[in-house]
Amino acid sequence: MATSPLSLTSKPPSITRLRHQRPPLTTVRVSAATVTTTTGMPDHHHPSLEITGGGADRFLPAFNTLHLPYKPFPIIGWNRHLETIFAAFFRTVPEVKYRRECLRTQDNGTIALDWVYGDHRSLPSDSPILILLPGLTGGSQDSYVKHMLVKAKSKGWRVVVFNSRGCANSPVTTPQLQTASFTADTCHVVDHVSSRYPKASIYAVGWSLGGNILVNYLGREHHRCSLSGAVSLCNPFNLVIADENLRKGFNNIYDRALRGGLSRTFDKHASLFEEMHDEYNVQAGLNPRTVREYDEAITRVSLGYKSVDEYYSNSCSCHVVQHVRIPLLCVQAANDPIAPIEATPYSDIKDNSNCMLIVTPQGGHLGWVAGDDAPFGAPWTDNVVIEFLEHLQKNASKPESS
């Protein structure tokens, strides 16, 4: 199960506990009958969508899906925990054959890219490219990643999965694994793909922690970002809030699952960390009681932070949304147990003409068991994402005079 929660232009305060309150913004209420403009929060008694953002009016023509009400699958889609767990364990996993490419970074680290096998021979060199960024400990093997890949491939897109360090059985050559704030690897991947296919437009989709990494890249590296558009799904945005939320009540079950994935990955490569003279607490990394304890023992040390709180505060993508300069669609679920909706930076999304936010009333975390493919097929969001990306690609392909 995946969850989310360096070159900063300006560092945020050391710890940010301020909630992003949902202000009475002007939003668009979408139902089957009409598309109207209203004020305030959506009616949770009706399966409608909350849509806002400085780019909402600009991007709304892209969508056919949004003229229909959001209908969660009966029973499964009515409870956020049931939906989250069902999607993680019972959603189908499409068959996809990959061809792996490993990149060496400037610090001698290794990144694994999984391309769809055969696409390098069958697709034109100018086919649009989609880079996929999975969530925490996730990779090219995950069902939500493969469903999105299959959908994009059916539209003629070239797809590549960016597996963070140590994920999807990728080789690890330095004492650093997946982190929420290290954007250098994303820069390296985008630059590599761009140089390999210079005639193609490149887009990216990130889920959960991958969404946080992607938005951090878009905001911090806006001066050099060569992507043509991006989508963030289930992004925790504020990792201080997400950390607090993850340790509450039933959410402890997700914390246990995630810490298990982190420790299993770390166990394969612990010898690299044992040789270092830094502050790594290898034993705590092998047997963490929480995700927070793992990040205190391993992650924050690899990035040079003095504490886990400093790491979380400086890894929040909510701080950089205002700097995003390309079309960005953010999709969140109002009942997400892992990426709490109160962490979503409503005001900054509203003030940025490049951003659009869609909030579904249900969905859980990486669930969205709704629509024609429910309950075992692709999540409801896949069609929304493809409509957005196809719209951007269509406009990018138009002659400059138009």
- Concatenating the DSSP letter of every residue in 235-301 gives ----HHHHHHHHTSGGGHHHHHHHHHHHHHHHHHHHHHHHT--SS--HHHHHS-SSHHHHIIIIIHH
Helices 239-246 & 252-274 angle (0-180, nearest 10): 110
Verify whether residue 222 is a known catalytic residue. Answer: no
Give the three-class secondary structure for 220: helix
Catalytic site residue from 143, 164, 201, 208: 208
| Three-state secondary structure of 340-389 | CHHHCCHHHHHHCCCEEEEEECCCCCCCCCECCCCCCCCCCHHHHHHHHH
Q: Edge-to-edge, what's the strand order for the sheet holding 49-52?
A: 35-39, 26-30, 49-52, 355-360, 328-333, 229-233, 202-207, 129-133, 158-163, 110-116, 98-104
Beta-strand pair 49-52/26-30: antiparallel
Whole-number Å distance between alpha carbons of 272 and 160: 28
Verify whether residue 208 is a known catalytic residue. Answer: yes
Give the three-class secondary structure for 172: coil
Whole-number Å distance between alpha carbons of 40 and 29: 10
Catalytic site residue from 269, 323, 365, 391: 365
Residue 179 and residue 315 in contact, taking contact as beta carbons nearer than 8 Å = yes
Catalytic site residue from 255, 309, 336, 382: 336
Residue 273 and residue 175 in contact, taking contact as beta carbons nearer than 8 Å = yes
Enzyme catalytic residues: 208, 336, 365
